[in-house]
Structure 1
Amino acid sequence: MSYQCPLCHSPLLFTHHQWRCENNHQFDCAKEGYVNLLPVQHKRSKEPGDSVEMMQARRVFLHSGYYQELQQKTIQLLDKYLPEGAGTLLDIGCGEGYYTAAVQAQLNLHQNITVYGLDVAKIAVRYGAKRYPKVNFCVASSHRLPFTDGSLDGILRIYAPCKANELARVVKPHGIVLTVTPGPRHLYQLKELIYQEVNLHPENKEQWEGFELISTEMLAYAMPLDGEQAHNLLQMTPFAWRASEQVKTNLMTEKLFNCEADFMLKIYRRI
C-alpha cells in the first residue's frame, strides 16, 4: 500500500519522516503524524474545507452521541461487506475522525486493517491525527485521491464529493464503497425554521461505471435536542448560512427541539 504523489502520480516512499517519490517531490510528515498531500495549485481557497466554527459545533454535537447510531451502522455494514482478508480502508472527508477512529478500532478487534482518513481541511486533520494516532491521516482533495491504482479494499464516503472514475481507479476488484447521503426527511424540522417551503430530500440515484449496487438501507430516528445542541446542529450544516440571526437566537433558547435524522446507506462493489 502506498500514497501517490499528487504532482506526478508516482508512488511515494516513506523515509526520514518524509514521503518522497522517484522524481524527488517531498512531503514532510507533521509532528502530529499526518502528511499534507494538497499542493498549493490544487487549493480552491487559502484554507479549504469547513470553517473553524462549523468544526467546533460538529465536534461537540458528534461527541454528544447524536449520530452514534449512524457511526455503528457504518461499522456493521463495513464489517459485513468488506472482502475477506481486506487490509486497507479509506474514509473520504473524514473531518476530525469521529467515524474513522471508531471504524479503525472496531474492525481491528478481529482483523488487521489499515485505516486512512482524508480531508481537505488541514485544521481538522491535525486535530484528528493528535487524537487518533492509530489512523493514518492526510490532507488531500477528494477529487484527486493520493492513492495508487487498485490499492484500497474499501472506501467510506459520508456526504463527501468524489467522482466515480476516481473511486474506480483506487478500489481493488471486489472492493466496496459505502456511501451515506441524506434521507428524505433528514433534518426536516431544522429546515422548517429556515425555508418557507420545505421539500423532501431527493434520492441521488448515482450510476457508477465499474461498480454494482449491492445493498441499500435506511436509518431514521428522532433526536430530542436542547437549545445548545440544536444550535450546534444548525452551525455544523450549510443551513447556517441561510438562517437568520433570529432563528439562531430562538434555537438557543429552546428547551426541547425534536429533529429527525434520516440517512440512506448504499454499498457498491467494484466489478
Structure 2
Amino acid sequence: MSVVPFKALRCPLDGAPLSRVDGGWRCPQGHSFDVSRQGHVNLLPVQNKRSRDPGDSKLMIAARRRFLEAGHYQAIAGAVSRRILAHAPERTPLAVLDAGCGEGYYLRALAGVNDGGRELAVLGLDISRWAVQAAAGQDKRMAWVVGSNAALPVPDQSLDVVLCMFGFPTPAEFARVLKPGGLLLEIEAGPDHLRELREIIYPTLKAPRDMSSAPADGFHAGGSETVRETCRLGQRDEIEDLLVMTPHLYRASAEGRERALALEQLDITLDVHLKASLRNG
C-alpha cells in the first residue's frame, strides 16, 4: 500500500479550498492554519466547540492505544480493511476519511495491508486534540486534523470512503463529501459486545438496539457483516485499559468499577456490526 499526501481540505471558516504552504494550510481569503510540531492541523474553530476540551481525554486515548496495540481488536481492524479495499478494483486509488479516528489504529492497519501498490490518500479526523496528537505522532504519512463530523473540512464529493468507527454519524455531511457510489462504512457495537464487562459494572443491561435500520437519506444498502469472537484479557492492566478507554468508565457505578478493576483476568465477547451504505448518484 502506498500512502500519498491528502490535499483535499477546505477552510472551516468560509468553505474555500485550502492549499499547503510552508508550515501550514491557507485559503484564498487569507485564513491560515499552522501544522503542529506533531504534524497535525486544528480545523475546529473555537466557536464550534461545545466545551473547552471536547472529545476523548488524554487518559482515554493512552488507554485505548495500549489496548489496541496489544492486538485485542485485530479481527475488527482486519474486517474493516478488507471491506474498504473491496470497494474498488485493485490498484484503484482511494481517498479515505476516518471520521472519529481516535489515535489512528484502524487507518494504520488499513495502510499496512499489502494490496499491490494501491494508492491511499488518508485523512484522520477527530474532535479530540489528544487523539489527533497521538495519531500524528505515530504516522507522518497521513493527514491528521482536529475537526467535527458536524462540519467536515473536506470539499463536496471528494472522498471514496468514509469510515465511522463507534462514532457519531452525520449522514448529511457524509453524503456531501462522498463521491456518487462512495462507501460509508459504519461500525457499531452489537448486542453482546463487551457483555461480560457490562454485566460486572452495571446492575442491569439495557435492551439491545435494533441493528436493522434502513440506510440514511442519500444512501442505499451496501451489505453488512458481523465480527464475533472471544478475547481473553489476562492482566489487570488490560482490564483497566478497556474500562478507561470506553464511556463505560463514566457511566458505571463506583461499585461496578471497583468490581471490574479487582479482576485478574476476563474473557470478553467482541460483537461488532459493519454496515455498508453506498451514496446515491
TM-score tier by shorter-chain length is over 0.9
8 Å CA contact 2:200, 2:259 repeated in 1: no
8 Å CA contact 2:201, 2:257 repeated in 1: no
8 Å CA contact 2:202, 2:256 repeated in 1: no
**Residues 174-199 of structure 1, C-alpha deviation per residue, up to 9 Å, x if partnerless?**
11011100111111111112222213
Among 98, 108, 114, the alignment partner of 1:101 is 108
| Greater shift in the superposed pair: 88-97 or 101-110 | 101-110
Does 1:258 find its partner at 2:267? yes
CA distance in 1, matches of 2:153, 2:20: 14
8 Å CA contact 1:129, 1:137 repeated in 2: yes
TM-score under structure 2 length normalisation: 0.91
8 Å CA contact 2:11, 2:153 repeated in 1: yes
Going from structure 1 to structure 2, the CA distance change for 1:45 and 1:107 (only over 3 Å counts) comes to farther
The runs of 5 or more residues in structure 2 that have no matched partner are 1-6
8 Å CA contact 2:197, 2:260 repeated in 1: no
Going from structure 1 to structure 2, the CA distance change for 1:195 and 1:247 (only over 3 Å counts) comes to closer
Match of 1:117 in 2: 124
Q: Secondary structure at the match of 1:78?
A: helix
CA distance in 2, matches of 1:24, 1:162: 31
8 Å CA contact 1:82, 1:176 repeated in 2: no
Does 1:46 find its partner at 2:52? yes
Going from structure 1 to structure 2, the CA distance change for 1:107 and 1:24 (only over 3 Å counts) comes to farther
Does 1:126 find its partner at 2:144? no
Paired AA for residue 239 in structure 1: H
Match of 1:238 in 2: 247
Report the Cα offset of residue 223 of structure 1. Answer: 1.5
CA distance in 2, matches of 1:183, 1:35: 34
Q: Secondary structure at the match of 2:76?
A: helix
How many pairs does the alignment contain? 271
CA distance in 2, matches of 1:166, 1:56: 29
Q: Secondary structure at the match of 2:150?
A: coil
| Greater shift in the superposed pair: 12-21 or 148-157 | 12-21
Q: Secondary structure at the match of 2:119?
A: coil
8 Å CA contact 2:201, 2:255 repeated in 1: no
Does 1:24 find its partner at 2:30? yes
Match of 2:150 in 1: 143
